[in-house]
Amino acid sequence: MNLAAKDIRHNFGRFILTAIGIGLLLMIVLGMSGIYRGMIDDALVVVDRIGADLWVVQRGTRGPFAEISRVPANLEHRLRAVPGVASSRAFVSHNVQREHRGRPLRMNVHGLAWPEDQGEWVRLVAGRPLGQAHYEMIADASLGLALGDQLSLGKDSYTVVGVSRGMVSSAGDGIAFFTLQDALSIQFDLPGEALRLERAARVERGSGLEATLEQPRLLERGAGLSSGIPALGPPMVSAVVVRVFQGADPAAVAATIATWPDVSVYTRAGQEQLLVYGMIDKARRQIGLFRVLLVIISTIIMSLILYTLTLDKIHDIALLKLIGARNTMIVGLILQQALLLGALGFGLAWLIGGWVFPRFPRRVLVTADDLQALALVVVAISVFASLLGIWKAMRVEPNKVLS
């Protein structure tokens, strides 16, 4: 007869309720691990899939994902002249928040250098990549947009031609992919009155200059489109992504580009490190702290429950000692209960988490390594939690049964 099983049947209700409570705590520990892994995967999804060997950004910045970066679009032509560079293309990234169908819609806008980059690398679950230079977009499923939906941004309307899954920014916002020119139009869109006032301000500033007095047509230029004024360059882009030739050393190419005074350059590994240990570092440490606290709380709860169960059977333990039962049998009784309690809690955490985690607003990515690590933690806290009950049982005197 297994004494642990018999004692569990005697206190079945308390034991099951404790297992459920431990399971919920362990589910949160598992969820914290999954949220952290999901944050890393979300932060690196574009860097990993776009296929860039180098990221060239504004000098002194960590852009385009960590902070604002502004480089001229023609930088890509300069980069093509660097030995070892196979291709280069401009890249734009910025956030927008609009209202769509009566609800707020926040997205991370990515501009692709169409037609070289049509978004074939995006994880599409429906539709197709971008097929024309304007007025098309690929939207992540988390944005709630379907194929064929129309979305007004700035002065234009864009049609959803592709739906992706798992393409979100490090902040959890769904990514929408546009051509580079469309993304810039969205970013630098201004109301008509703002444009009129800016043109009037140009005329006002230029009216007192000697050059405009000698050439009055310059003022006419100032009152026109910005693109018609040579001194005003085209809109800046966030970064330029570079691919090197097969066999070329990305570090050597990066060292050449790094000598330029107007840009900074990062390898793919460097950009990933900036994202992991820069943007999400505080969240990583905070989640880690919560995980440790939850493990400690689970251990304390299990210890108190096992201690209470031990107190309830003090008379029985004393009787066992009186009839000659070995201490190993009593220790095994408490230890088996602790391990079974931990195993039930782990199973409930896995089952409940499998149902709850897909409904979280942020992606929860649970791997086999996380499950194995949690299983080892559960064994450790089960053994540690049983020590208090074992200590109490070892102090029971056999003559206690006579009192």
Give the 3-state DSSP-derived string for 335-394, with helices as H, strands as E and coil as C: HHHHHHHHHHHHHHHHHHHHHHHHHCCCCCCCCHHHHHHHHHHHHHHHHHHHHHHHHHHH
Task: Find residue 89's DSSP bridge partners.
Answer: 241
The pLDDT value recorded for residue 67 is 81
The Cα-based distances of 201 to 197, 233, 358 in angstroms read: 6, 18, 53
Domain assignment present for residue 338? The answer is yes
pLDDT, tens only, 49-101: 888 899 999 998 887 887 888 888 888 889 998 999 998 998 998 888 888 88
Q: How does residue 44 score in pLDDT terms, banded at 50, 70 and 90?
A: confident
Q: Please give the residue that has the higher pLDDT: either 147 or 283.
A: 147
pLDDT, tens only, 118-171: 888 998 999 999 999 899 999 998 898 999 899 988 888 999 999 998 888 877
Above 60 in pLDDT, residue 4? Answer: no
Long-range CB pairs of 369-376, under 8 A, 24+ apart, other chains included: 370/30, 370/33, 370/34, 370/37, 371/30, 373/33, 374/26, 374/29, 374/30, 374/33, 374/346, 374/349, 375/346
Domain containing 319: what range?
Answer: 3-42+281-402
The pLDDT value recorded for residue 136 is 93
Structure tokens, 297: 């709380």
* C-alpha span between 291 and 283 (Å, rounded): 12
Domain assignment present for residue 58? The answer is no
User: How many domains would you assign to the chain?
Assistant: 1
Domain assignment present for residue 132? The answer is no
Domain assignment present for residue 85? The answer is no
Above 80 in pLDDT, residue 195? Answer: no
3-state secondary structure of 331: helix
* C-alpha span between 158 and 145 (Å, rounded): 12
Domain assignment present for residue 7? The answer is yes
The pLDDT value recorded for residue 326 is 75
Tell me the average pLDDT of the chain.
Answer: 81
In this prediction, residues 177-197 reach a mean pLDDT of 82
The pLDDT value recorded for residue 229 is 58
Is residue 159 within 8 Å of 150, Cβ to Cβ? yes
Above 50 in pLDDT, residue 1? Answer: no
Domain assignment present for residue 95? The answer is no
Q: Please give the residue that has the higher pLDDT: either 398 or 85.
A: 85
The pLDDT value recorded for residue 97 is 87
pLDDT, tens only, 301-331: 777 777 777 776 667 666 666 666 677 777 7
* C-alpha span between 108 and 170 (Å, rounded): 10
Domain assignment present for residue 49? The answer is no
Domain assignment present for residue 345? The answer is yes
Above 50 in pLDDT, residue 367? Answer: yes
* C-alpha span between 308 and 313 (Å, rounded): 9
In this prediction, residues 280-298 reach a mean pLDDT of 80
Is residue 243 within 8 Å of 32, Cβ to Cβ? no
Task: Give Cβ neighbours of residue 232 (< 8 Å, ≥ 6 apart).
Answer: 226
The pLDDT value recorded for residue 138 is 94
